[in-house]
Structure 1
Amino acid sequence: MWVTSSLTTALSPAKVALGNFDGVHLGHQAVIGEILHDAPQRDFSLSQVRGEGAESELSPRLSGDRDDRIYATVISFNPHPQEFFTGTARSLLTPVHEKVDLLRSLGVEQLVLLPFTRELARLTPEAFVSEILQRHLQTQRVSVGENFHFGRNRSGNSARLRQIAQDYHMETSIAGLQYLEGHRISSSTIRQALTEGEVERANRLLGRPYQLQGTVELGQQLGRTLGFPTANLKLPQDKFLPRWGVYSAWVQLDDGSKVPAVMNLGSRPTVAGDRPTVEVHLLDWQGDLYNRSLTVHLMTYLRPEQQFPGLDALKAQIHQDCQTARSHLQTLP
């Protein structure tokens, strides 16, 4: 997938899904799906994401030099507009690298991460369509959600977008609000579910398990002395963390294999932890994980974090957590 933060290096013409898409949940996928229908296939195997908000390091290699090619494109914003206007750092369900992986898996060919600047915020809805969609991307089709707003002071909505797009002969698709089990699918609903430890509900709204991606770093190695060695995961600073406590999980290693696991998120009060940590114990697995990349797929919230009277009580509880986790991890997600 071609990733760029500059409109001058964006590929065109394009079919565009427009939005923040934090979480890439089922509602977002309904919007994105409208630009994937009949999208020509490309070979972007040479592309490498160089960093958050940066262009891919190498140009895409097309699978065929076709005059009618239209790139399936997602336009998102960096930083999140809410962070720009409030001046407060915002944690994300899907930091940039996670979003790239998820969009690529859906079949998106290009991600344009527009820098959300004061100049961009000042654009009227008409100027946004004219400058961004028409002039730079030669947009043939644009897809948004029913509740989408854009332009100066959020003055444009999905209906206004359709009106403006008609002047440029752009097709417009407006995806209705998506519901599951009577609840609207939204990033805020997913955040609330994760905050309350309702990871199974969050997973249903996402359409996949909520995940934590990071690199294993050296910890205090206390788990090893208790007979339960753990991998300490270093996460992106802007990653949204669910409720502190113990989870059953599937861990995907950097070789693609998946291993059942127990994860603890918290400050480890029994051993006087001084900062939040993510510790993962892989069940029935041995090996060196230092400096390796792991993806933890959260499945079930087992219990809150708690303080024990001593290490023996902690060890007994970890053993029980492992047994409980096994009962929840009978099949791969």
Structure 2
Amino acid sequence: MEVIHDIAAFPNLKHAVVTSGTFDGVHIGHQKILRRVTERARISGGQSVVITFWPHPRLVLFPEDNNLQLLSTIEERIEQLRAFGIDYLLIIPFTKEFSRLSSRTFISDVLVKTIRTKVLIIGYDHRFGKNREGSFEHLKSRSQQYGFEVEEIPRQDIDDVGVSSTKIRTALESGNIPTANQYLGRPYAFTSVVEEGNKLGRTIGYPTANLALPTAHKLIPANGVYVVWVKLQEERFAGMMNIGTRPTVDGTKLTLEVHILNFSRDIYGQSLTIEFVEQLRLEQKFNGLDALKAQLAKDKEETSRVLGFS
């Protein structure tokens, strides 16, 4: 997949099959559209193209809203789209100026002149251009004028999977990992760097890798203890993760700590990808480190059971 950040650098394609959207999370609803795009491109001998935007439009249009939590960073989104065999990804910088483009200007300048679109595939509720004025009906009625075919993914096809980015965020914010993963079609994950911690875990037999908080606006699941897979470069390990403030030791700030089962390497400064499987329990305050250690033993046993090791 060729990733293009500059509209002016977009190549001259003979038969571009295109879709457009923010694609936050690239969930199973998005995946229906992506599969149709690649299918149409394959049938026609053309090229599949995805147009997306960064930063997320809401971060630009509503900068005072600090509550927006994203399912994927732009780097994650690129890799998620790459997995579907897309040929070209055009990332358009989303600015206030760009947001004022009318739908007709977007169609003429981007879809027609830049990409030379031959087929445009959109979800049934997709809108674009200033004030979301562009619609399937508008495109369909002017398809001959614009010189490309318009295909809409039917409402039933999208509604049948019952998924939206909002539903996934809600599931993660309540610790409902299986529902989020079902809607995503893969485990929810984030990547972060291992930092120096206070090394308390190793004193009770459960050393942890302390992770830096992910980039701003990347959603962190609800506080609690989780069964996770831990990816270190090409290796994958079982783990249990705590998200919270560590109330047993009177902690006050949010920390991300993962205990990797049967692991003893020094990995400070390295990146780990955490894939969430299930929430074991909510974070709680224990009556001292001995009580915490006893609970961690139970958590480890349950983690092994969930991941199929016992």
TM-score exceeds 0.5: yes
Among candidates 221, 245, 250, match of residue 229 of structure 2 = 250
Find the aligned partners of 1:36 and 1:241 in 2 and give their Cα distance.
32
Match of 2:170 in 1: 192
Alignment check: 8 A CA contact 1:231 1:281 kept? yes
1:322 Cα offset (Å): 0.8
1:160 Cα offset (Å): 2.0
Mapping for residues 153-302 of structure 1, pairs under 5 Å: 153-177=131-155, 178=157, 184-234=162-212, 235-254=214-233, 256-302=234-280
Q: Residue 83 of structure 2 aligns to a residue in which SS?
A: helix
Question: Are residues 116 and 248 of structure 1, via their aligned partners in 2, closer, same or farther at CA, if it must alter by over 3 Å?
Answer: same
Segments of 5+ residues of structure 2 without an aligned counterpart are none
1:70 Cα offset (Å): 4.1
Alignment check: 8 A CA contact 1:77 1:116 kept? yes
Find the aligned partners of 1:162 and 1:226 in 2 and give their Cα distance.
65
1:5 aligns with 2:5: yes
- What's the % identity of the aligned pairs? 38
1:120 aligns with 2:98: yes
1:7 Cα offset (Å): 0.3
TM-score (norm: length of structure 2): 0.91
Find the aligned partners of 1:326 and 1:159 in 2 and give their Cα distance.
53
Match of 2:290 in 1: 312
Aligned-partner residue type, residue 224 of structure 2: G
Aligned-partner residue type, residue 48 of structure 2: A
Question: Are residues 165 and 224 of structure 1, via their aligned partners in 2, closer, same or farther at CA, if it must alter by over 3 Å?
Answer: farther
Question: Are residues 205 and 246 of structure 1, via their aligned partners in 2, closer, same or farther at CA, if it must alter by over 3 Å?
Answer: same
Find the aligned partners of 1:10 and 1:329 in 2 and give their Cα distance.
45
Q: Indicate the structure with greater helix content.
A: 2
Find the aligned partners of 1:158 and 1:242 in 2 and give their Cα distance.
35
Q: Residue 208 of structure 1 aligns to a residue in which SS?
A: coil
Structure 1 runs, 4 residues or longer, greater than 4 Å off: 177-180
Match of 1:17 in 2: 19
Considering only aligned residues, what root-mean-square deviation do their CA atoms show, in Å?
2.0
Q: Residue 221 of structure 2 aligns to a residue in which SS?
A: coil
1:38 Cα offset (Å): 6.3
Q: Residue 102 of structure 1 aligns to a residue in which SS?
A: helix
Aligned-partner residue type, residue 308 of structure 1: F
Match of 1:74 in 2: 50
Aligned-partner residue type, residue 218 of structure 2: K
Among candidates 114, 119, 122, match of residue 136 of structure 1 = 114
Find the aligned partners of 1:128 and 1:282 in 2 and give their Cα distance.
49
Find the aligned partners of 2:215 and 2:143 in 1 and give their Cα distance.
38
Q: Residue 266 of structure 2 aligns to a residue in which SS?
A: coil
Alignment check: 8 A CA contact 1:74 1:110 kept? yes
> Alpha-carbon deviations, 1:274-312, whole Å to 9, x = none?
321211111122212222221111011111111112111
Q: How many residues align?
A: 302
Segments of 5+ residues of structure 1 without an aligned counterpart are 41-67
1:257 Cα offset (Å): 2.0
